Amino acid sequence: MPVPLAPLTALRKGVRAFAARSIAPLAEEIDRSDRLPSEVFSALAGEGLTGLGIPPEWGGIGGGTRALSVVLEEISRVSPTVGTDLSVHLSVCAAPIHRWGNDAQRARWLRPLASGEILGAFALSEPGVGSDAAHLATRYERTENGVRITGSKMFITNGRSAGVVLAFATIDPARGSHGISAFLVPRGTPGFSVGQPLDKLGLRGSETNELVFDRAELPEDALLGPEGEGLSIALGALVGGRIGIASCALGVARAGFDQLRAAVARNPDDDRRARLARAWADLSSARALIEKAAEAKDAGRPYELAASTAKLVAARVAESIAHEAVEVIGPPATLRGHPAERILRDARVFPIVEGTTEIQERIVGKMLSDGRTGEDDSDDA
Ligand SMILES: Cc1cc2nc3c(=O)[nH]c(=O)nc-3n(C[C@H](O)[C@H](O)[C@H](O)COP(=O)(O)OP(=O)(O)OC[C@H]3O[C@@H](n4cnc5c(N)ncnc54)[C@H](O)[C@@H]3O)c2cc1C
């Protein structure tokens, strides 16, 4: 039975109850075993959430960025592993397929993504390439019937189980950003394989893999969008994805805040109350920035500045509140199995994924200094 998408208060209430029922009891085990049971995605699918943002005509339940943000925050409050996997599936796999795909590609991929029959992944990063995505080393060459891809991708979320990977490769590194194209790579493609899982500090249970392309052959219809537009497709997807990842970070911040508040309530004094007040102010600022970015996106207004600012702040706030919670709780919070310990490890990942903090600062700083904000930043940015 899908959760109600509107009003947002009903959506939040519905998702919070779902997360408490279906995800919270598994969160500790997901972290400890570094494994996400398949029933978690089935449960998300049962609520329609694997199709959030995908229009009903393509098998989804529709819904805008505000709704997505609320869902990712509430899920990440109990398990940012699940929130991040869902964010990648929806924001940087399904959304660009919807935006750039032709109807045949939409029909082939969006329906199974929306129903949760398959999981989606986004593969831009490489062993030697992260922030500087214009310099990909993964190559493709033209064949009689399509393309052949050779190279490898690194740190790919949902990498092992994904039914489709949106992957990026260059026809010639000398062409820089103009040489890059986007491809929809089905699981099982000959020459395409998944490397060892990576044993991470945080977001444990979220699959993070190397993907290997060894002369992987793809037909012409694997090309997403125009040839040579791959970097724009990737960066465009990441701008939208940042609101989702910021929402996941906000969920982690909220979980850290819950721990902090309980600790202060157990042992209140002026210093601890002041820490709680600062955490609340930070949490509220991050939420306001995310809402602003999501509202701008839903209204069709420019949102790049707002999305990067929201991601920058939410990731910082998640880390600082998680740190405060451990500080105030004290030694018990350093023990494996304590929620605050897991929250601190999970929080540390958010300044890195989908564009590091330094990259967000460069984007925001450049847009502001160039006067290229695309929105009124004089009184409310
Ligand atoms: C858990 C996890 C999941 C991930 N999932 C995915 C995924 O699904 N798909 C995907 O494609 N990638 C994924 N990534 C990769 C992630 O997007 C990259 O790690 C990130 O973009 C940084 O790239 P990098 O690791 O190569 O670091 P680098 O780009 O080498 O950066 C290293 C450090 O230098 C700083 N730096 C780099 N350039 C500059 C600059 N110009 N100015 C100032 N500072 C700079 C960075 O901020 C960082 O602190 C994931 C990473 C993690 C940890």
Best residue among 34, 129, 356 to mutate for probing ligand 1's pocket (most ligand atoms within 8 Å of CB) is 356
- Given a cut of 70, whether residue 170 has pLDDT beyond it is yes
Q: Select from 195, 226, 233 the least CA-distant residue to 213.
A: 195
Domain spanning 231-370: which CATH class is it, in words? mainly alpha
Lowest mean per-residue pLDDT among 40-54, 221-235, 367-381: 367-381
- Given a cut of 50, whether residue 7 has pLDDT beyond it is yes
Q: Give the CATH number of domain 8-119; options: 1.10.540.10, 1.10.150.110, 3.20.20.70, 3.40.50.1100.
A: 1.10.540.10
- Interval 171-193: pLDDT, tens: 999 999 999 999 999 999 999 99
d(CA 241, CA 166): 14
Maximum alpha-carbon separation in the chain: 73
- Given a cut of 80, whether residue 238 has pLDDT beyond it is yes
Q: Is the distance from CB of 90 to CB of 38 less than 8 angstroms?
A: no
Work out the pLDDT band at 375, boundaries 50, 70, 90: low
What is the per-residue pLDDT for 3? 83
The CA-atom distances, in angstroms, between 212 and each of 153, 155, 167, 181, 381 are 7, 12, 11, 17, 42
What is the per-residue pLDDT for 231? 97
Locate CATH 1.20.140.10 in the chain.
231-370
- Given a cut of 70, whether residue 364 has pLDDT beyond it is yes
Work out the pLDDT band at 328, boundaries 50, 70, 90: very high
| Mean residue pLDDT across the chain | 96
The CA-atom distances, in angstroms, between 159 and each of 133, 167, 276, 286 are 19, 11, 38, 29
Q: Is the distance from CB of 196 to CB of 152 less than 8 angstroms?
A: no
Over residues 209-227, the mean pLDDT reads: 98
Q: Is 157 left (phi over 0), alpha (psi -120 to 50) or beta?
A: beta
C-alpha of residue 133 to centroid of ligand 1, in Å:
10
What is the per-residue pLDDT for 381? 44
The three-class DSSP label of residue 305 is: helix
Burial of 365 (0-12, 13-18, 19+ CB in 10 A): exposed
Work out the pLDDT band at 379, boundaries 50, 70, 90: very low
Q: Is the distance from CB of 155 to CB of 198 less than 8 angstroms?
A: yes
User: What's the pTM?
Assistant: 0.96
How many helices (H) and strands (E) in the chain?
12, 8
Q: Is the distance from CB of 140 to CB of 171 less than 8 angstroms?
A: yes
State the closest ligand 1 atom to the C-alpha of 157, by its place in the atom list counted from 1: 8
Q: What is the DSSP string of 158-177?
A: TTTT-SEEEEEEES-GGGGG
Over residues 236-240, the mean pLDDT reads: 96
C-alpha of residue 214 to centroid of ligand 1, in Å:
24
Domain spanning 121-229: which CATH class is it, in words? mainly beta
Q: Select from 299, 289, 178, 301 the least CA-distant residue to 242.
A: 289
Best residue among 131, 164, 185 to mutate for probing ligand 1's pocket (most ligand atoms within 8 Å of CB) is 131
Q: Is the bond into 186 cis (omega within 30 degrees of 0)?
A: no
- Given a cut of 80, whether residue 265 has pLDDT beyond it is yes
- Interval 40-64: pLDDT, tens: 999 999 999 999 999 999 999 999 9
Locate CATH 2.40.110.10 in the chain.
121-229
Work out the pLDDT band at 197, boundaries 50, 70, 90: confident
